[in-house]
Amino acid sequence: MSEPSGILIKGGQVVNDDCSVISDVYMENGKIVEVGLDLRIPGGARVIDATDKLVMPGGIDTHTHMELEFMGTRAVDDFYIGTKAALAGGTTMILDFVIPEKGKSLLEAYDCWRSKADPKVCCDYSLHVAVTWWSDQVKKEMQTLAEEKGVNSFKMFMAYKDVFMLKDSELYAAFSHCKEAGAIAQVHAENGDLIAEGAKKMLSLGITGPEGHELCRPEEVEAEATQRAITIAHAVNCPLYVVHVMSKSAAKVVSNARRDGRVVFGEPIAAALGTDGTHCWHKDWAHAAGFVMGPPLRPDPSTPGYLMDLLANDDLSLTGTDNCTFSVCQKALGKDNFTKIPNGVNGVEDRMSVIWEKGVHSGKMDENRFVAVTSSNAAKIFNFYPQKGRIARNSDADVVIWDPKMTRRISAKTHHQAVDYNIFEGMECHGVPVVTISRGKVVYEEGRLTVPAGHGRFIHRKPFSEYVYKRIRQRDQVGKPTAVERKPYEGKVISV
Ligand code: URP
Ligand code: ZN
Ligand code: ZN
Ligand code: ZN
């Protein structure tokens, strides 16, 4: 039976990042047409009763790596399975990363990602592009990507030495060009040289298991790089976005920088908010390896609660997942050497529930802040607000109907992802997505997904997001250093 085009969601509490109000929502042809009470709607529209439920913007996952070829293998969640799983968890858009090899064209890599993703995605998506080397060609291609290809964010790696890592002078050049292009500079902030040395040291001590991954890159390795990236970005007055903030030390650096007035945003991920790195010390190798990702999940068990406090207080700004999934047999590439364990964990399906449980159910944040950190802030920073991240007339009809009283237990046995384990295994979560609507269609309901491959669309993002660039532009105007006017020096000068 074909879906009637109009959908009326009735009697729910509509939650945006600035208010919650009981209201009906009518949508048609992929857009929200009206929000209010006693709406007049055309006959034939489907009515969904949302009494005692919340009606929120669909989640936006700012950080995924679907089918990424990485560390000798390929992530098992592809753009089809991964985006279907996202929808089952109430997420209606992902931002994935194009990661060209060093020396390769950014534009060709972008085209390659588009051709993989476009036919498969079940929800809308957009792309960040990584800058893994520096040249005039890269500079030109960044400009083209920003002006013509809908990319306004570029990720630079300070780790993965000899693979993706840039040196400081290249970071300076890349950040400067992000600013010229009106893009946001993103960093993977870890000191790659120290990691390489630390890894050699751990192996020489006979530490070959997953715990070696964290031991060779303790918190200060992340915090130092975070501070360095902030310093370089400030030197060129470029907005900075720190992806996967994993430690208390790095989070404090971001938070202090924000308090010092820097235009910097920190992105904690579901993994770091919902679990911790103690698992990497587990006696069962496969269990321990499942939690290996970079920067590492930290063994300090107070980390998730601390990151959540900072997220609630706006010291950290929004959430992604870094969903980059490798099954146990792939992780086993590193069974005798932790440096060969493919880095990455799951999250795209469970992010919304984990953040509701640890953030809202715990009382750290209200439902409005939940919307801010799961969708609105992403849309504002990456420049597609209020097209997404808001329940309002003319916004995209990407909606999740959320039952805050219902609970579910996360398990690899029931998840929709391709990966064969789940880092949140056994976690009971209050807050369950009961209906997900993507592009105005019900795609998930009563535990069933009904969405074809290619249902999603690429979201073109323009440069110079006002939310980010207003302050940057003004600072450029008023903050220009000026020379002191003085008479020329006319005294003696030594001869050399
Ligand atoms: O472990 C991770 N984070 N894998 C994906 C690559 C990255 O650095 O984001
Ligand atoms: Zn990274
Ligand atoms: Zn464990
Ligand atoms: Zn990542």
**Nearest ligand, CA 96:** 4
Q: How far is the CA of 371 from the centre of ligand 3 (A)?
A: 30
Positions in the chain short of pLDDT 50: 1
Atom of ligand 1 nearest to the CA of 343: 1
Sign of the Cα pseudo-torsion (152, 90, 189, 209, in order): negative
Please give the distance, rounded to the nearest whole angstrom, from the Cα atom of residue 190 to the centre of ligand 4: 13
Residue 321 phi/psi, 5-degree rounding, is: -135, -25
Q: Which helix (H) or strand (E) holds 17?
A: none
Radius of gyration of the chain, Cα coordinates, nearest whole angstrom: 23
Query: Which residue, judged by its Cα, is nearest atom 9 of ligand 1?
Result: 322
How many angstroms is it from 143 CA to the middle of ligand 1? 25
Q: Which of 61, 65, 325 to mutate to test the pocket of ligand 1 (most atoms within 8 A of CB)?
A: 65
Q: What is the DSSP string of 78-126?
A: -HHHHHHHHHHTTEEEEEEEE-PPTTS-HHHHHHHHHHHHTTT-SSEEE
Which residue's alpha carbon is nearest to atom 4 within ligand 1?
A: 344
What domains appear along the chain, each with residue ranges and CATH number?
Answer: 56-449+456-472 (3.20.20.140)
Q: State which residues have CB under 5 angstroms from ligand 4, the bound ion.
A: 322
Looking at ligand 1, which atom is closest to the CA of residue 97?
9
Dihedral sign (CA 230, 233, 236, 239): negative
The pLDDT tens digits for 18-73 are 999 999 999 999 999 999 999 999 999 999 999 999 999 999 999 999 999 999 99
How many H helices and E strands in the chain?
16, 18
Q: Hey, is 436 helix, strand or coil?
A: strand
C-alpha 64 – ligand 4 centre gap (Å): 6
- The span from the CA of 68 to the CA of 75, in Å, is 5
Looking at residue 4, what is its pLDDT?
Answer: 58
Q: What is the structure's pLDDT at 295?
A: 98
Q: Which residues of 137-168 are buried (b: 16+ CB within 10 A; e: fewer)?
A: ebbebbbebbeebbbbbbbbbbbbbeebbbee
Q: Are 134 and 173 in contact (CB under 8 A)?
A: yes
**What's the pLDDT at 2?**
54
Ion ligand 2: residue ranges with CB closer than 5 A: 188
DSSP 349: T
Helix (H) or strand (E) holding 370: helix 367-371
Q: Buried b / exposed e across 99-126, counting CB within 10 Å, b at 16+?
A: bbeeeeebbebbeebbeebeebbbbbbb
Pocket of ligand 1 (CB under 6 A): 65, 188, 244, 293-294, 322, 324, 343-344
The sign of the dihedral angle between the CA atoms of 92, 130, 255, 217 is positive
**Distance from the alpha carbon of residue 253 to the mean position of ligand 3, in angstroms:** 29
In the block, tokens 């870094």 appear at: 322
Beta strands in 138-202 (DSSP E): 153-157, 184-188
Which residues have a Cβ under 8 Å from the Cβ of 389 and sit 6 or more positions away?
17, 57, 60, 371, 375, 376, 377, 378, 379, 380, 395
Cα atoms in the Cβ-side hemisphere of radius 13 Å centred on 273: 35
Specify the residue with its C-alpha closest to ligand 1, atom 8.
Answer: 294
Complex confidence, ipTM: 0.96
Q: Which atom of ligand 1 is nearest to the CA of 293?
A: 1
* Ligand 1 pocket: which of 66, 247, 324, 330 to mutate (most atoms within 8 A of CB): 324
Per the DSSP assignment, residues forming a β-bridge with 281 are none
- Distance from residue 228's CA to the centre of ligand 4 (Å): 19
Determine the atom of ligand 1 nearest the C-alpha atom of 294. 1
Expressed in angstroms and rounded, the spacing between residue 377 Cα and the centre of ligand 4 is 19
Contacts of 180 (CB under 8 A, 6+ apart): 143
For the CA of 164, the closest atom of ligand 1 is: 8
Task: Report which ligand 1 atom has the smallest distance to the Cα of 68.
Answer: 5
Going from the Cα of 150 to the center of ligand 1, the distance in angstroms, rounded, reads: 23
In angstroms, the CA 240 to CA 297 distance is 22
> Could you say which ligand is closest to the alpha carbon of residue 187?
2
| 443 CA from centroid of ligand 2 (Å) | 30
Contacting residues for 464 by C-beta, under 8 A, at least 6 apart: 152, 182, 383
pLDDT for res 3: 52
